[in-house]
Amino acid sequence: MSEITDFDALRRALAENSEEPEGPARNARAEQLLAEAEKLNVPLAVIEALGHQLKVYNYSSEKDKMFVPFARLLRLWDERPEDFDEYEAHSLHWVFKWMSAGMLDQPHIPLASVEKWLGEMEHRYRLAGYSERAVRSAELRVAAHIGDLPRAERAYAAWLAADRDRMADCHACELHAQGIWQVRCGRDAEALRLWRPVLEGEFACAHEPHTVLASSLAPLLRLGRTEEARAHHLRGVRLVRPMESMRGAYADHVEFCALTGNEARGLELLAERPAYFTDTGHPRSRLDFMAVVALLMDRLTELGLGGQRVPGPAGRTWTARELAAHARAEATDLGERFDRRNGTSAVGDRIRARMAQRPLAERLPLGVRTVRPAPAPAATPPAPDVPDEPDPAALLAEARRLSDTLQPHALEAWAAVARAAPDGTGLEARARAEIADHEAMARGPEGLPLFGRAAELYAEAGDPGEALAARARGAYVRALAGEVDAALATVTGLYDEVLALYADEGTGVRQTASVVMSRARILMRRVHEVAEREAGRAVGAAEAAVREVLALVEGRGGDDVRLAARAAEARAMLAELAGLTGDAERAAELFRRAADGYVTAGLPWFAVEYEVQVAALAHQAGDLAGAERALRAALEHGGPYVEPVGRAQLHLQLAEVLGGRDAPAEAAEHALEAAHWADEAGESGTLGAWARQQLGGFLLRRGRYAEAAEVLESALADLSAETHGDGLVVQARWWLGDCLGELGEHRAAAEQRLEAAELARHWPEQQDHATLAHLAAESLGNAGLDEEADRAYARAGDLWRALGNAQFLVRSLRARAWLALGGEHGAAHARALMAEAVREGESALAAAQGADREELAAELGGTHQQFAELLARSASEEAEDAAIRAAFEAALEQMTRAVAVFAGLGAAGLHSRTGAELGAGWLEADLGRPARAAARARAVLAVYEGADDADGTARARREEAAQMLEAAREGTETEQG
């Protein structure tokens, strides 16, 4: 942290702090900067620091701290206005609005004081020549808060009538406030009309559309506009999540979950913001938050989940029932405090109504996986401890501690030392060597000269071993840059020197191990670069070098984590070499030992890379359980130290493994996490699209078609064959087509399947192409597009024929026959197509052997049966009785052939045979042969005599046979009568 020595440095520090996340840390830094400003003896410096402090307080949970810096600023203005520049004078008047709202939100501030400040604001604005627009807006907030609706209406009208000037809030914020008033008056549709420009991106600011999205949720639900509400929730919660000052908007999202059957997602949101339960700096947003917590907990209790553990205030565990009581008491107490201050019941009435709301939708799908336990909030990795006043000695000690224990942020800590002591001023040679060494590591190839400088300084400090280690590190960086041979030549000499030095006790094991490890690393690089004919020799040299590292450091770690880390890395190198030589089992074992070594040494974040390798090898070996264990360990050990893109990859890999283990529910959970972290990493269009594609597939497997369709449509907006491969795109469209078909959107399903089929057209293996063409034809037929369906079935049939898949060729012909029956070609074409299907089936069955015969026989029997049904249905189109009778006779022949084919299947074809037998019986009856119909019915009854009533098919067959006997009896009596 740089020392503040002048006004410019202060301004830079203020600007840097403004960019930090909202919260206590930023606020504390603002307080420090004010103290620094006061040392500069520059009035404007103090004014700017006070303004900055006021701003960060306003946008945090410590809003109650705003009033002190504001009072001081106002006093400075009254005493010496000439000390304010134009910007600070404008800012002082601007924050009057924050003061009126801020006082209103603090129940301990008397209402008379709030009104006094409102009057003061109006007076000062008038003196400064500003419009009364901002004043009337502030008055509306006061009047609406205390329940004085007539005054609020007058203020609202005056606000809109006044001219917009520099004191008016931005368009986005003004539209939000206007919409809030419309909602208060019960005019939800008008509010949404006002908010439309913000929601559509026409107006925006640092906190919009964040709050408009949140505020729009309940009005949209009340108006039945659930699709928009879902979209606003998914978009809005991501915006407010990182902003501490958004507790009120965050409460709106929790409320949305409670009102739409997404209670589990509501718990997730609560778990992500534990501080919201206890932050007291802004009582009004705390009141809203506790009210919706009570609402959500009541809903869980109603659902029979009152005993479920839920996230709540820190310090104890909570059940939903217990938290409901706690939150209601807190909200009620806060509401009463506001009402006592205001002299009305307006706040309490509003809060009681909010807690008493009933769900507005039984279950509103969000397109994301929400039915899962809420995870504990991720911890933020600790940054180096940096004193407020940069002390080179303290910074040096901290940097050495971090680097000696291989902690994250070590390089940043050394950079802080370098900034605190430019050019190493005042530091001994050893410290200057370490600064140069770590700067070289941080800079990669560009830092090569610094390794040499570090070596010179180590030698000057009397540590020749570390000097050799620094030069060896430089050699490894050269190898990374592609100069492997030169690097190897350099490190070989250093290796000889350090071994001689170590033998003479001129250096320690740590320094020696560093050089030996650098040599091993370079030889590993060489393994990957040599030609195949030299690979064996390169692998042997690398393995020997790695084993030297192990021989040197094995069992000598003690409290020195560096040596333990060397041993772990060496095992990982041996694992890599084992993998290169085809010994996957040994590679996996060595990677596991490497990971365990890092974990045992207290360096779990280094284990992640090797646990991923274990997972990959287990996956290749078909050991999905082992892959799952390794990936779970990687996520656990990586914790907050893995970058967002790495976390996305880990979650996505685990999702795929869980999907392969038939656990789509948890797989969807990890796919969602993968999508979230990909978005955080700025990889929405690449890794994020892949994650959403997987999530959509898992939701589809669970039968959640509407949610899966939404997710897959979102994924396809980013998926491309160039980036993700056409296989991923084809699968996404395939899944989406399945979802749309289940939802009855058959035309859209056909479009997706046809596009997928077109992509698969050029694949060497045509099975997917044929399947997609067939599915597209089904969708086109279901959409009533018969001609298009026929062409698609014909295309699929050609593909099935080329693939030798007679079963699906027959199905495509049957489907075309049914389409033809209702088309312009009529019954004749339909019969011809069905006859072709029979011929293809018979030919395939004659050539088949083994298990294929049973499947093809069943298909052929089904084709005869469908041919009979088609002939019977087409008979109604015949003009002459003779033609109709001929059609029925032909149908009976086909049905009889179906019975014979199914009979050949034995027990496996029993139900199919009896179904065809009954079909033939009805045809006999239609042809005026009741006795034959009765004989077929009795044959079916005989087959099922003594059958278990639990067999639904058998029961249905017996009932139909009995009906047929009764109909035959009546037919016989009619003939005889």
Report, as an integer, the average pLDDT of 816-836.
89
Kind and range of the H or E run holding 355: helix 346-355
* Predicted pLDDT of residue 43: 87
Residue type, 231: A
C-alpha to C-alpha distance for 472 and 497, rounded to whole angstroms: 11
Q: Per residue in 699-739, pLDDT tens?
A: 899 887 766 887 888 789 888 988 899 999 999 999 999 98
Q: Per residue in 868-918, pLDDT tens?
A: 999 998 886 655 678 888 899 999 999 999 999 999 999 899 999 999 999
Total residues belonging to the chain:
977
Tokens linked to 306: 């009152």
Of 498, 497, 500, 544, nearest to 523 by C-alpha is: 544
pLDDT confidence band for 366 (50 / 70 / 90): low
Instruction: List the Cα angle 664/670/671 in 5-degree steps.
Output: 80
539 has pLDDT over 50: yes
Of 94, 55, 97, 92, nearest to 76 by C-alpha is: 92
Report, as an integer, the average pLDDT of 749-774.
93
CA 931 to chain centre: 68
Report, as an integer, the average pLDDT of 339-365.
91
DSSP annotation string for 439-503: HHHHHGGGGHHHHHHHHHHHHHTT-HHHHHHHHHHHHHHHHHTT-HHHHHHHHHHHHHHHHHHHH
* Predicted pLDDT of residue 379: 42
Q: Per residue in 224-251, pLDDT tens?
A: 998 789 778 877 876 787 787 888 999 9
pLDDT confidence band for 364 (50 / 70 / 90): confident
* Predicted pLDDT of residue 522: 94
C-alpha to C-alpha distance for 72 and 80, rounded to whole angstroms: 12
Are the beta carbons of 697 and 735 closer than 8 angstroms? yes
Q: What is the 3-state secondary structure (H, E, C) of 485-504?
A: HHHHHHHHHHHHHHHHHHHC
Furthest C-alpha separation in the chain: 127
φ and ψ at residue 205, rounded to 5 degrees: -155, -170
pLDDT confidence band for 375 (50 / 70 / 90): very low
pLDDT confidence band for 63 (50 / 70 / 90): confident
Residue type, 440: A
82 has pLDDT over 50: yes
C-alpha to C-alpha distance for 180 and 431, rounded to whole angstroms: 60
* Predicted pLDDT of residue 258: 95
C-alpha to C-alpha distance for 812 and 846, rounded to whole angstroms: 20
Higher pLDDT among residues 153 and 882, named by residue: 153
Helices marked H in 927-977 — which ranges? Answer: 930-943, 952-976
DSSP assigned state of 310:
E
Tokens linked to 61: 């949970």
C-alpha to C-alpha distance for 337 and 766, rounded to whole angstroms: 73
pLDDT confidence band for 167 (50 / 70 / 90): confident
Tokens linked to 593: 């030992």
For residue 870, how many other CB atoms are within 10 A of its CB?
23
Report, as an integer, the average pLDDT of 486-505.
93
Report, as an integer, the average pLDDT of 76-100.
84
Report, as an integer, the average pLDDT of 24-47.
87
Report, as an integer, the average pLDDT of 442-470.
92
Residue type, 107: P
Q: Within 13 Å, how many C-alpha atoms sit on residue 490's CB side?
A: 21
C-alpha to C-alpha distance for 762 and 495, rounded to whole angstroms: 56
pLDDT confidence band for 391 (50 / 70 / 90): confident
pLDDT confidence band for 759 (50 / 70 / 90): very high
Of 19, 57, 17, 55, nearest to 282 by C-alpha is: 57
> Distance of CA 750 to CAs 168, 289, 498, 702, 775, Å?
53, 46, 71, 22, 8
Contacts of 413 (CB under 8 A, 6+ apart): 384, 395, 398, 399, 402, 403
DSSP assigned state of 687:
I
Are the beta carbons of 598 and 565 closer than 8 angstroms? yes
Contacts of 818 (CB under 8 A, 6+ apart): 830, 866, 870
**3-state SS, residue 405:** coil
Of 621, 500, 510, 608, nearest to 559 by C-alpha is: 510
796 has pLDDT over 60: yes
27 has pLDDT over 60: yes
160 has pLDDT over 50: yes
333 has pLDDT over 80: yes
Report, as an integer, the average pLDDT of 281-288.
89
Report, as an integer, the average pLDDT of 492-500.
93
Are the beta carbons of 9 and 37 closer than 8 angstroms? no
Kind and range of the H or E run holding 190: helix 188-199
Helices marked H in 702-825 — which ranges? Answer: 705-716, 721-724, 726-742, 746-760, 767-782, 786-803, 806-821
For residue 333, how many other CB atoms are within 10 A of its CB?
11
Kind and range of the H or E run holding 197: helix 188-199
C-alpha to C-alpha distance for 264 and 262, rounded to whole angstroms: 5
Are the beta carbons of 14 and 52 closer than 8 angstroms? yes
C-alpha to C-alpha distance for 164 and 216, rounded to whole angstroms: 25
* Predicted pLDDT of residue 371: 39
* Predicted pLDDT of residue 531: 64
φ and ψ at residue 318, rounded to 5 degrees: -130, 145
> Distance of CA 771 to CAs 176, 317, 469, 740, Å?
51, 53, 62, 17
CA 613 to chain centre: 24
387 has pLDDT over 90: no
* Predicted pLDDT of residue 795: 94
355 has pLDDT over 90: yes
174 has pLDDT over 50: yes
- pLDDT mean across residues, the chain: 88
* Predicted pLDDT of residue 973: 65
| pTM check: above 0.75 | no
Contacts of 598 (CB under 8 A, 6+ apart): 564, 565, 568, 604, 605, 606, 607, 610, 637
> Distance of CA 865 to CAs 782, 859, 933, Å?
22, 10, 17
DSSP annotation string for 59-128: TSS-GGGSHHHHHHHHHHHHH-GGGS-HHHHHHHHHTHHHHHHHHHT-TTS-HHHHHHHHHHHHHHHHHH
Residue type, 192: L
Residue with tokens 């809203």: 288
* Predicted pLDDT of residue 782: 94
Residue type, 314: A
**pLDDT exceeding 70 applies to what percent of the chain?**
95
For residue 423, how many other CB atoms are within 10 A of its CB?
9
C-alpha to C-alpha distance for 436 and 459, rounded to whole angstroms: 13
498 has pLDDT over 70: yes
* Predicted pLDDT of residue 370: 41
* Predicted pLDDT of residue 106: 86
Are the beta carbons of 274 and 377 closer than 8 angstroms? yes
